[in-house]
Amino acid sequence: MNSFKKAVITGATSGIGFALARALASSGREVLAIGRNAEQLALLAKEPAITTLCADIRENEEIIPDILAFSPDILVNNAGVGHGIDGLDNLPLHLIQEAIDINITAPITLTAALMEHMKTQERGHIVNIGSIAGLHNLYSALYGATKSAIHLFSQNLRTELSGSAVRVTEICPGRVSTGFFQAASGNQERLDNLSRSGIAELTPEDIANAVLYALNAPMHVNVATIEILPVQQAVGGMKLSASD
C-alpha cells in the first residue's frame, strides 16, 4: 500500500459514502466519516478505524477545524443531492440553491481548506465523486450542471497542483443501486419512473473499489478520471429506427 493513511469522506451515511467508509477502513486506513444521519453514523462508529462527525457540510466554518485536526491525506468529496434530476420545471428556488451549495460549493470549499495542508505534508489525494451526467448530455439541466462543474473543477485543480505531491481523481458513475432518486426532490411520478432502470446496476461497493484502485496506485501515478457504468448502460450515442 502507498502512504495515504487518513481519509475524510463526506456524505458517508448512505449509498456510496457508506460503502466507501467501510472499504477504506477495511483497507487499513483511518476514516473520518461525515454525514447528517446520526443513526447511520452510529453504525459506522462501531468499526474501530472509523471516527464520525454528524454535520452539514455547508456549515464549513464549523467542520473545517475538526477536519484539519484529523490531519487527512485523503479527501473524498462524495456528498451530493439529486434535486431536479427529473427536470428543472417548477423546482423551488431554495432547492436549486441547495443543489449548488452541496454539489459544488461545499466540495470546492473543503478542498481549498485542505490543499495547503496536503502540499505542506507533501502527500495528498483529492477524490471527487462526479457523474456521467457531468460528462454527457442526459436529462437534467441542474444536476448535469453541478456535476459538470465538478468535472472541470477536477481537471483544472489537477493543473493547479501540477508539480506537487497532491493527486486528483474524479469518479464518474453511471447507474448505481442506491436511494438516490428516492432522496431527490422533484416530480414524484417522474422520480419513481427514473428509479426503475430495469438493468443490473452498479453497487456502492463497485464505486468504493474504483476509489481504492485510484488510491492504491503507485505514488508517481495519478488516475485522473474513471467513467464506470453497468454493462447494460451506454451513454453519448443515438440509435435511429426507420420510423424515426
Distance from C-alpha of 38 to C-alpha of 54, rounded to nearest angstrom: 6
Cβ neighbours of residue 88 closer than 8 Å, sequence gap 6 or more: 96, 140, 141, 142
- φ/ψ of 118, rounded to 5, equals -70, -40
CA angle 30, 28, 128 (to 5 degrees): 60
Distance from C-alpha of 209 to C-alpha of 205, rounded to nearest angstrom: 6
Enter the C-alpha cell of residue 108.
Answer: 470546492
Place of cell 451549495: 101
Q: Give, in order, the Cα–Cα distances in Å from 107 to each of 27, 89, 139, 164, 190.
A: 24, 26, 23, 20, 28
Enter the C-alpha cell of residue 238.
Answer: 443515438
The residues annotated as belonging to the active site are: 143
| Residue from 243, 175, 172 nearest 214 by CA | 172
Query: What is the identity of the amino acid at 87?
Result: G
